[in-house]
Amino acid sequence: MELCEVRALAPVNWSLAEHARRYSEASAQRWHQFHVVREQLGLVVEESGRCREECGPGRCWGDDCECAGCVFGWAQCAVCGQARAAQPIHGLDLSPVENDVEVLAAKQREQDRLDEFYREFDSAVAEWQRAVGLV
């Protein structure tokens, strides 16, 4: 909108930031549900907030670690705050988690919010184009 105003073009009134926030929240909920179900199914190999056991107890922590045992980075869940593996351990079959009904539902909600975001953006661009005579 600011760019339109600076260039003396018709500003478009949209709530794009709200749609982006909703998508971000849905994405966080999907990854939260993924790690919850992974734990429920017993597919957790790593210790929360630590590197794998090859690193040695108490010797390395998270993203700052440079030892050979660290095969992935750590992230903190935006929903529950739990430190968890950002990626699965190579070779670990996570298909039961990915196919869990609750994980699939969370993934669908995330996709719906993304589609909503794109529709809002496309609508706003089309409105702007009509307002400035580009259509």
Q: What is the pLDDT of residues 13-53, one digit of tens each?
A: 557 778 888 999 999 999 999 989 988 888 765 544 445 45
pLDDT at position 115 is 95
Distances (CA, A) of 80 to 10, 31, 74, 89, 123: 43, 11, 15, 22, 35
Decide if 89 contacts 72 (C-beta within 8 A).
yes
pLDDT band at 121 (very low <50, low <70, confident <90, very high): confident
On whether residue 5 sits in a domain, the answer given is: no
pLDDT at position 5 is 66
Domain that holds residue 126: 14-43+94-135
Q: At which of 73, 91, 109 does a domain end?
A: 91
9 vs 130, residue with greater confidence: 130
Mark whether 59 and 86 lie in a shared domain: yes
Mark whether 82 and 108 lie in a shared domain: no
Q: What torsion do the CA atoms of 62, 64, 69, 75 make, to the nearest 10 degrees?
A: 30
Mark whether 87 and 54 lie in a shared domain: yes
On whether residue 116 sits in a domain, the answer given is: yes
On whether residue 7 sits in a domain, the answer given is: no
Whether the predicted pLDDT of 10 surpasses 50:
yes
pTM to 2 decimal places:
0.67
For helices 16-40 and 101-131, angle between their N-to-C axes, nearest 10 degrees: 170
Please report, as a single letter, which amino acid is at residue 51.
Answer: C
Mark whether 101 and 36 lie in a shared domain: yes
On whether residue 4 sits in a domain, the answer given is: no
Number of domains present in the structure of the chain: 2
The pLDDT tens digits for 81-112 are 887 655 556 677 889 999 999 999 999 999 99
Which contacts qualify for 83-92: CB closer than 8 Å, 24 or more apart? 83/48, 83/49, 84/35, 84/48, 85/46, 89/45, 89/46, 89/52, 92/43, 92/45
